[in-house]
Amino acid sequence: MYYFTKSQAYKRLKRHFNEIKHIHMRDLFKSDGDRFEKFSIKLGPILFDFSKNRITEKTIELLIDLAHEASLEEKIKGMFSGEVINTTEKRRVMHWALRVPENKEVVVDGKNITKDVWNVLKKIEHFVKKVRSGTHMGFTNKKITDVVNIGIGGSDLGPKMVVKALNFLIPEDIKVHFVSNIDPAHLSMQLQRLNPETTLFIISSKSFTTLETMENAKRAREWIVENLKSADAVKNHFIAVSTNLQGVKEFGIAEENMFEFWDFVGGRYSLWSAIGISIALGIGFENFKKLLNGAHMVDEHFKNSPLNKNIPVIMGLLDIWYTNFFGASSIAILPYSQCLEEFPNHLQQLIMESNGKRVTKENRVVDFNTCPVIWGRVGTDGQHSFYQLIHQGTQLIPCDFIGFVKNPYNNEKIHDIFMANFFAQTKALMEGKQEQKVVEELKNSGLSDTEIQKILPHKVFPGNRPSNSILIDELTPYTLGALIALYEHRTFVQGCIWNINSFDQWGVELGKVLAKGIVNNLTTKETCNAYDSSTNGLINYYKKIKRG
Ligand code: G6Q
């Protein structure tokens, strides 16, 4: 049975790692003029350059051997044929089916899933058109001007990221907001700027039981009913997206205002489903379809391309290379696009919730590291903050640079300056700055030899810091859909190599239960003795100060 660190390929990679770990990328580039051609893949409007990684052709060959030994191709087939690969929750993993074109059947257990998917998509299309045209109005017959998505985790991060990224496609007469936190401040901050007569709430929750979402939804309902002075206003101002019809009905939202999705879609993979209705309301249904098309293009690429020409496969294998051989414990996501401000946040959930696991699919506690920490921030802001550590710190942090040739807000000249930073940073990380060059510069600036020796080590950059460059022609719904799908499949590849279940989230479920218990302790008068001394102490202090 396959186990990552016991595989033949792992052992060969370990030997290979020891042979190449001291080789500098600078030398790899010097000795091979074709490195960029060899280590880059073009996929439609996306150029993926992975040549600035600490790899040789041999590394890729061995990583591909590892993928074979882990049965990656069979596992990819398994996901795309609807096998129950989410074994702990006994579910299929079929977010990819949400972006299949209408004329392409996806048959599972004799049922054509595409039909169900497109029925909901058509319902979304119809509703979006009604809201945007002013046919669906508020209770007092005013056009909807503001849409508030109330949801958390997968029911928030994906749509929020896309809405922000494609903001330039949202017309001025509609605004899309997101409320996720149960901190009353979050909803209050939104409500104080909104007009109840023209606000539509989307209650997005796969389970329709999540505490944060349900509490915020109740408060929003009270706000509407109080301000519009009628419980009947709910039908004009609330819709729901969920798999839980009963829960939606009990909340008071009629079935015709509910948009369905299915158990085979994990929360963090759900922006393609009706959970994305806030996106469609903002950018329009046609653009939402283009987002789906871009992701579908990547699904086909992932399913059909040979492993060594397959972008998500190479991305995922490089993650293994750095995590399990170089000992890297994080990956920085660095979009050179203000529009992608929320992208690192979305990826944090996507990757860490998927692969932050410690037990294999065969129930064995692993003896190797799994998911690295995912973090990041848009360039060039990051450059003026944490890049210092990436350049000269003691940890190896592989980076993803993501940028676009064209800027949706035009201004070519300034965009060139912006992107010059992208290219310069990847080059500097790879090459570093050697002693000789620093000495030369310091001499030219008039420093004496003694002064130079004092400052020299601080000014040297070791380089040999790896990065991927993802350069995309233009930011559009299509390319954004493709980009997100690349990361979804990259996450899957990591999980296949580690042989973990990337599709459950028991750690998240734990949080949902824990807080519910403690809420009762906060509302009773009695001193709390139910927990450890720290938790009791904190709870009792909170109660004392609250009472005044
Ligand atoms: C995502 C997780 C989790 C989930 C939220 C919200 O993959 O399952 O982040 O999306 O906990 O859950 P509901 O959509 O059920 O409210």
3-state secondary structure 274-311: HHHHHHHHHHCHHHHHHHHHHHHHHHHHHHHCCHHHCH
| pLDDT tens digits for range 389-401 | 999 999 999 999 9
pTM of the model: 0.98
| pLDDT tens digits for range 365-422 | 999 999 999 999 999 999 999 999 999 999 999 999 999 999 999 899 999 999 999 9
| pLDDT tens digits for range 105-142 | 999 989 999 999 999 999 999 999 999 999 999 999 99
Q: Which residue of the set 186, 235, 512, 543 is catalytic?
A: 512
272 alpha-carbon distance from chain centroid: 13
Is 186 annotated in the active site? no
Within 8 A by CB and 6+ apart from 234, the residues are: 221, 224, 225, 252, 253
Is 384 annotated in the active site? yes
| Cα 198 to ligand 1 centre (Å) | 28
Return d(Cα 138, Cα 136) in angstroms, integer. Answer: 7
Q: What are phi and psi of 64, to 5 degrees?
A: -65, -40
| Cα 294 to ligand 1 centre (Å) | 24
Chain mean pLDDT for the chain: 97
Average pLDDT over residues 179-201: 98
| Cα 206 to ligand 1 centre (Å) | 7
Nearest to 399 by CA among 374, 417, 424, 420: 374
| Cα 47 to ligand 1 centre (Å) | 32
Nearest to 432 by CA among 458, 398, 392, 462: 462
| Cα 67 to ligand 1 centre (Å) | 30
Q: Which residue of the set 384, 413, 525, 546 is catalytic?
A: 384
Ligand 1 site-directed mutation target among 353, 508, 509, 510, most atoms within 8 Å of CB: 508
Nearest to 129 by CA among 234, 284, 288, 290: 284
% of residues, the chain, pLDDT over 90: 97
What's the pLDDT score for residue 480? 99
141 Rama class: left (phi>0) / alpha (psi -120 to 50) / beta: left
In ligand 1, the atom with minimum distance to the C-alpha of 151 is 16
Q: Which residue of the set 353, 357, 415, 489 is catalytic?
A: 353
What's the pLDDT score for residue 451? 97
| pLDDT tens digits for range 261-306 | 999 999 999 999 999 999 999 999 999 999 999 999 999 999 999 9
Nearest CA to ligand 1 atom 10: 154
Pocket of ligand 1 (CB under 6 A): 152-155, 205-207, 210, 213, 266-268, 353, 505, 508
412 alpha-carbon distance from chain centroid: 28
The helix, strand and coil proportions of the chain, stated in percent and rounded to the nearest 5, come to: 55, 15, 30
Is 105 annotated in the active site? no
| pLDDT tens digits for range 135-159 | 999 999 999 999 999 999 999 999 9
Question: Residue 514: pLDDT band by 50, 70, 90 thresholds?
Answer: confident
Please check the confidence at residue 530 and state whether its pLDDT lies above 90: yes
Ligand 1 site-directed mutation target among 157, 202, 203, 206, most atoms within 8 Å of CB: 206
Q: Are the CB atoms for 293 and 121 separated by under 8 Å?
A: no
Q: Are the CB atoms for 346 and 158 separated by under 8 Å?
A: yes
Return d(Cα 291, Cα 276) in angstroms, integer. Answer: 10
DSSP 8-state secondary structure symbol assigned to residue 531: S
In ligand 1, the atom with minimum distance to the C-alpha of 210 is 16
Position 180: which residue type? Answer: S
In ligand 1, the atom with minimum distance to the C-alpha of 204 is 14
CA distances from 36 to 23, 32, 51, 52, 210 (A): 18, 9, 5, 8, 48
Taking the CB of residue 205, how many other CB atoms lie within 10 A of it?
28
Nearest CA to ligand 1 atom 2: 267
| Cα 424 to ligand 1 centre (Å) | 39
Question: Residue 515: pLDDT band by 50, 70, 90 thresholds?
Answer: confident
DSSP 8-state secondary structure symbol assigned to residue 433: B
